[in-house]
Amino acid sequence: MANFNKVSVANEARTELHDKLQLTGAEISINNLPAGAGVPFVHYHKKNEEIYFVTAGKGKAVIDGETVELGAGDWLRISPAARRQFFAAENEGISYVCMQVKENSLEEYTAADAGIEQ
C-alpha cells in the first residue's frame, strides 16, 4: 500500500477531495463559479475554520454581512461561526480552493513536525 494518493481534477463546478484522496484531517474542495453566479446558500460551521485560495478570476464573499472583494492570488481564513456566501463577479468567473480544518487543532508544523534523515 502506498503512502500517498494522487488524483486529477476536472473543471467541474465543485469537487470534494475527502474521499478521492482519503483525507483524514482536512476537507479540500475545488470550486468554479461562472460569471454572475453565486453559492445558493449562506453557511457556517460548528468546528471547522475554512481557508480559501482564489486561483483565478474575481468575485466576493459576504461574511457576517461584510463584503470582501476577492481576486486571483488572494487567501482568506474564516472562523467557523462566521456566516458566509460566495459570488463570482458579474463579468468574470471565479475559481478557488477551500480547505476545512478543525479550528485550533494545529500543534506542530514545518520543522517541528518533520523527521529529518541524513
pLDDT in tens, 67-109: 999 999 999 999 999 999 999 999 999 999 999 999 999 888 8
Q: pLDDT > 90: what percent of the chain?
A: 81
CATH number among 2.60.120.10, 3.40.50.1000, 3.40.50.1780, 3.30.9.10, domain 14-104: 2.60.120.10
pLDDT in tens, 53-67: 999 999 999 999 999
> For position 11, what pLDDT does the model report?
84
Tell me the mean pLDDT in the region 12-21: 91
Cβ neighbors of 67 (< 8 A, separation 6 or more) are 60, 61
94 burial (CB, 10 Å; 0-12 / 13-18 / 19+) is buried
Domain boundary assignment for the chain: 14-104
